[in-house]
Structure 1
């Protein structure tokens, strides 16, 4: 069942990440979707959960109250009910695709830039290094837009960020450094090894989140763009991992 709640006290994406993480830890909660602008949260749960259970896990500065208990109207004719559910599914899919549009556009631009930089004197290795360098530079830029809110979102799925919170703070700097190393062709083997370790851990967290079917925000582009955690995030990390492994194997 899905219930809607109003939440007061949220002021930034860091608050959204914190509230989402705490609500997900309540027993029986399956998914949580928090909207900062509306000050609302939609919680899907296995069974009805008392409002006090949610209030107990949230800091005092947040006030949560139930709005409308979500349920399907059993009085609707069967054919109308099926049409309604089908329309809601289509709308949801379109919304997800629209949300992922920035990520897809960025990848298209990165591929195009890497191709154009090496068009006249083609080298697959050089094109891959340029792609990885540009990838890290661009993605770190979006994280720096909200350096305070990023760690809260990142630790919701990255294993190391959960274990060592400061890692979430330095991660954008790691990405920026790796981007510069790839573009300047400086200590490439080290940059590749770090890429495998860093993205390997993140991919493990992303995979677990997807398998658990948790609906959380993806922090790959920081918190400036509210992207959902989907298979696209897994594919994005996998592409980088595969390229890093291939190049590292060729070096040794």
Structure 2
């Protein structure tokens, strides 16, 4: 008998190989076919094996759950849709909180002499510093996650390795008001490249993990990822128009 399971936690080819290896070791499993991009695995077994047993056979990094089969004759369940949306918001809570804190902090820094341009520059600076910090927590694992959707990191692996340092440098430039034009143009270039990859991923409806906060926090690739990049791109365009 064959069952299809969703696998959460896979970020690269090494993860795929690891899941394949450990599932094959479970007693009763005869064949395993793992799909990285679909985040799922098809498992063939002699007798039915409980999902809990399969979970015990995997490292803690991975979460396995049986994939629900769709019945075209069943009416749509609005309650299920609401639950999924709620779960998505819960998963995105860390990202939304970070953006809220950055927004509040950049405004408080200029509460006496409030200026749109100054607030934007500090927002962009804090954005890069905070987001690069999370990427720095796992410099080895970040490139693999990032290359799953960033076109340049996929073709040029070294770009994924130095990306956290690029973000840190840009954050310092914005906060210290150094080479603002270069920082703004760089922001437009690197975030536009990433946004292209994010857009393609969303259109293809692939289930992968966003690397915007590194690998420390498991965030799904959603419209929020596109929006956060779009905000930075719009700010960069606005500031460049004011400069020139």
TM-score, length basis structure 2:
0.77
The C-alpha deviation readout for 1:113-148, integer Å capped at 9, x for no partner, is 011101101111111000000000000000001111
Is 1:31 paired with 2:38?
yes
Checking the alignment, whether the CA contact within 8 Å between 1:134 and 1:183 is kept in structure 2 is yes
1:88 offset after TM fit, Å? 3.1
Matched with 1:94 is: 86
SS at match of 2:113: coil
Is 1:166 paired with 2:158?
yes
> Within 2, Cα distance between the matches of 1:38 and 1:149?
13
Matched with 1:123 is: 115
The C-alpha deviation readout for 1:71-109, integer Å capped at 9, x for no partner, is 3579xxx7xx547x4443222211111000000001110
Task: Spell out the pairing of 1:31-50 with structure 2 (5 A cutoff).
Answer: 31-32=38-39, 37=60, 39-41=62-64
Matched with 2:216 is: 224
1:38 offset after TM fit, Å? 6.8
Checking the alignment, whether the CA contact within 8 Å between 1:20 and 1:32 is kept in structure 2 is no
- Which stretch shows the higher mean deviation, 199-208 or 31-40? 31-40
SS at match of 1:223: coil
> Within 2, Cα distance between the matches of 1:6 and 1:179?
35
Task: Spell out the pairing of 1:69-148 with structure 2 (5 A cutoff).
Answer: 70-72=68-70, 82=75, 85-148=77-140
Checking the alignment, whether the CA contact within 8 Å between 2:4 and 2:40 is kept in structure 1 is no
Report runs of 4+ in structure 1 exceeding 6 Å deviation: 20-23
Q: How many residues get paired?
A: 211
Is 1:17 paired with 2:11?
yes
SS at match of 2:82: helix
Checking the alignment, whether the CA contact within 8 Å between 2:37 and 2:208 is kept in structure 1 is no
**Structure 2 vs 1, CA of residues 218 and 5 (structure 1 numbering), >3 Å: closer, same or farther?**
closer
Checking the alignment, whether the CA contact within 8 Å between 2:134 and 2:214 is kept in structure 1 is yes
> Within 1, Cα distance between the matches of 2:36 and 2:126?
39
Is 1:192 paired with 2:184?
yes
Matched with 2:200 is: 208
Checking the alignment, whether the CA contact within 8 Å between 1:20 and 1:33 is kept in structure 2 is no
SS at match of 1:4: strand
Gaps of 5+ in 2: 18-32, 42-54
Matched with 2:4 is: 3
SS at match of 1:31: coil
RMSD: 3.0
Checking the alignment, whether the CA contact within 8 Å between 1:217 and 1:228 is kept in structure 2 is yes
The C-alpha deviation readout for 1:169-221, integer Å capped at 9, x for no partner, is 00000000000000000000000010000001000100111111111100000
1:21 offset after TM fit, Å? 8.8
Gaps of 5+ in 1: 8-12, 43-67
> Within 1, Cα distance between the matches of 2:79 and 2:61?
23
TM-score, length basis structure 1:
0.75
